[in-house]
Amino acid sequence: PPPTQSTSRRQRQMCIRDRLDAFARQLDIAKDTGLPVFLHQRDAHDDFVETLEPALPHISRAVAHCFTGEHESLRENLAMGLYIGVTGWICDERRGKHLHDIVHIIPDDKLLIENDAPYLLPRTLRPRPKTRRNEPAYLTEVVRVVAEARGQSVAHVAQVTTQNANRFFSLPPCE
């Protein structure tokens, strides 16, 4: 027989619970290993925070990877001590306009620039590449747009994000 609406709702709730349990287990692995975590969430901010917050004191480092959220979720992520990863999403005049308007809120020491290849090709690239495939070479465009939105120089954003990446990944400083 076809599932009833209540059965479907119950199945969705079980699926959500299973995903949250898997997320909690991944956070346990991060606690046990001391390795940093990349956190990616869409349309689940409240559950994300509820699961993450108790684990954070035991996690070495965490980044809100490919952050595309709104002002309030940015502030909440920063209050939790997360690094904020910005991708080519900020270069999209349609979907990334809100991010362009709030990226200045991110403190220098919490800002990371990410590629997210092969996705999120910066739409501001000129000339436009022949394919829509994003590549690490296009990070310079993300840095340019972030610097513009923050009212900072490209050199400054490149320097602080390099320092942050070195710290996040426990890499030696670049010379």
Render pLDDT for 149-161 as a digit per residue (tens, 0 to 9): 999 999 999 999 9
Report d(CA 85, CA 62) in Å as an integer.
10
pLDDT of 1 above 60: no
84 contacts 77 by C-beta, under 8 angstroms: yes
The pTM (predicted TM-score) of the whole model is 0.89
Give the SS3 label for residue 39.
Answer: strand
Render pLDDT for 71-104 as a digit per residue (tens, 0 to 9): 999 999 999 999 999 999 999 999 999 999 999 9
Token code pair at residue 140: 């310079």
